[in-house]
């Protein structure tokens, strides 16, 4: 299970693939289709979470 704050709302996800990226989560699960991919290889840091 993972619990996180998303748009000032607590979300809990229990059945996520370990291969699911944050980008795919935002686009496919959260419906945030305006989110775009940066470099796609992890070099630019756009996919970094903190």
The helix or strand, by DSSP H or E, that contains position 23, with its residue range, turns out to be helix 22-24
45-48 contacts, C-beta under 8 A, 24 or more apart: 47/21, 47/22, 47/23
Q: Rounded to an integer, what distance in angstroms lies between the CA atom of residue 2 and that of residue 11?
A: 8
The helix or strand, by DSSP H or E, that contains position 33, with its residue range, turns out to be none
Its pTM surpasses 0.85: no
Q: Which of 23, 29, 24, 30 is nearest to 47 (CA)?
A: 23
pLDDT tens digits, residue range 22-46? 888 888 999 988 877 877 777 777 6
- Say if residues 31 and 11 touch (Cβ distance below 8 Å): no
Q: Name the residue ranges covered by the structural domains of the chain.
A: 1-34
pLDDT band at 12 (very low <50, low <70, confident <90, very high): very high
Question: Which of the pair, 38 or 11, is modelled with greater confidence?
Answer: 11
């Amino acid at each position: 299970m993972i619990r996180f704050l998303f748009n000032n709302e607590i979300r809990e996800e229990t059945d996520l693939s370990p291969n699911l990226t944050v980008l795919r989560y935002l686009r496919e699960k959260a419906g945030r289709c305006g989110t775009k991919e940066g470099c796609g290889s992890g070099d630019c840091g756009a996919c970094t979470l903190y």
